[in-house]
Chains A and B, each alone.
Chain A
């Protein structure tokens, strides 16, 4: 199995094979994303009951928590690609890291935004300099730093190196975000879902949140693969297969 796996990795680390495979997969991820988010939205408003403590405003949880999870998970995957790119000089890994960053930044912003609009009716304020909120804001700055470094350096290999290093160093912020509600006395509530404890939410609420989270995940894969295909074309434009692909168009 190890051998077979390593062949698959090698095969799809070739930009040409990646481009073809991603093209076939993207429509399927869109179908899954639209289906899951559609069901999730319906459940968010018509199935999940009113919360006895927070009233209706708690419904923001169904997008807030998935967005916050994606903001951290995308960063982790981006840093993993950065390590593969730096350690083994896999060009495709660098391109995947670049493709992930804008979507990660978007979900980080949305986690902060939806959190602010949930905080106002719940805590009476849009923003506090609490450990959870501040470390999530730092995550947004890390994404912005990664994207600006890439656009500031013309040579793609040097850009990948500099931004990859930033991504890897920034990983230290992830456990800080995750455990902040435990380590410090924060205004932000504790984890809604944790692998070691029984969930503190009603199971219909939990199901709705998980469906939305998987929907956001499928959305991320679809949009990131589309962006990665563009990056492949730009960086590989001197290669024979890209030239043939482009010349074959519109004939």
Chain B
């Protein structure tokens, strides 16, 4: 097992490369999911608020 992680003495370079790549790709997906959700919620609130005001004006 520790043989696997040491990678013939090159473990540091290999895990720094694979680790950073995994981190960036996972964080990118999280950022996109969270900001998509935030934008949808913000826009939904805006559209609902506008729909209410235009409804009142008709009454």
A residues with CB within 8 A of B: 45, 50, 55-57, 59-60, 63-64, 67, 102-103, 106, 109-110, 113-114, 117-118, 120-121, 219, 223, 226-227, 229-230, 233-234, 237, 242-243, 246-247, 249-250
Question: Closest A-chain residue to B46, C-beta based?
Answer: A237
Known contacts: A113-B17, A223-B32. The answer to whether A57 contacts B7 by CB under 8 A is: yes
Residues of B within 8 A of A121 (CB): 10, 13
In the bound assembly, the distance between CA atoms of A226 and B10 in angstroms comes to 37
**A-B CB contact pairs (8 Å), 15 listed:** A55-B10, A56-B9, A57-B7, A59-B14, A63-B18, A67-B21, A103-B28, A113-B20, A118-B13, A226-B32, A230-B32, A230-B40, A242-B43, A246-B40, A246-B47
Interface residue tally on B, bucketed by range: 20 to 34
Question: Closest B-chain residue to A61, C-beta based?
Answer: B17
In the bound assembly, the distance between CA atoms of A250 and B41 in angstroms comes to 10
In the bound assembly, the distance between CA atoms of A109 and B17 in angstroms comes to 11
> How distant is A154 from chain B, measured CB to nearest CB, in Å?
17
B residues with CB within 8 A of A: 4, 7-11, 13-14, 16-18, 20-21, 24-25, 28-29, 32-33, 35-36, 39-40, 43-44, 46-48, 51
Question: Closest B-chain residue to A33, C-beta based?
Answer: B25
> What secondary structure prevails in chain B residues at the interface with A?
helix
> What secondary structure prevails in chain A residues at the interface with B?
helix
